[in-house]
């Protein structure tokens, strides 16, 4: 039961990430705007930390049944660590980091990172189907 729930969560996260990434590749300004607005809102850090935490735990649970158990375990722990770091940094630092990211990479750099994110989303989906 727990394994099935973890696999479904990972599948949904991978599919949602794929949709967001495809939108971003076509229109990076929309994704940059979304990230900026999300990190500026009071619930932005909760969303960012919550998603990382849930995905990390789901990946750890699903790792033994995955074709890539070591990769799922490592990425799961990285996601959990990123959630903890996000909590420790706080909303204002994360907001400044998001703005730095937007300023630094712009549309072209964002597209390049989104292609990497699409590969990650495909890895998530492939790892649980």
Tens digit of each residue's pLDDT (9 = 90 or more) over 59-72:
999 999 999 999 99
User: Range of 27's domain?
Assistant: 2-128
- CA nearest 82: which of 114, 118, 45? 45
pLDDT digits (tens, 9 = 90+) for 81-116: 999 998 898 888 887 887 788 788 878 888 899 999
Kindly give the residue spans of alpha helices, DSSP state H, lying in the chain.
2-26, 28-40, 44-62, 69-128
Q: What is the pLDDT of residue 104?
A: 87
Residue 36 to residues 7, 44, 86, Cα–Cα distance (Å): 30, 9, 16
The total number of structural domains in the chain stands at 1
With 80 as the cut, is the pLDDT of residue 48 above it? yes
What residues have CB less than 8 Å from 103, skipping those under 6 apart?
none
Say what the pTM is. 0.86
């Amino acid at each position: 039961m727990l394994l099935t729930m973890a696999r479904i969560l990972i599948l949904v996260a991978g599919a949602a990430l794929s949709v967001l990434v495809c939108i971003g590749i076509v229109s990076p300004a929309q994704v940059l705007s979304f990230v900026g607005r999300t990190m500026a809102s009071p619930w932005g850090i909760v969303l960012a930390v919550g998603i990382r935490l849930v995905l990390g735990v789901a990946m750890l649970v699903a790792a033994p049944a995955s074709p890539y158990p070591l990769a799922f375990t490592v990425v799961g722990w990285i996601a959990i660590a990123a959630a903890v770091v996000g909590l420790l940094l706080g909303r204002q630092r994360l907001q400044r980091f998001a703005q730095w990211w937007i300023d630094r990479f712009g549309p072209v750099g964002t597209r390049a990172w989104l292609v990497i994110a699409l590969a990650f989303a495909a890895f998530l989906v492939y790892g649980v189907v």
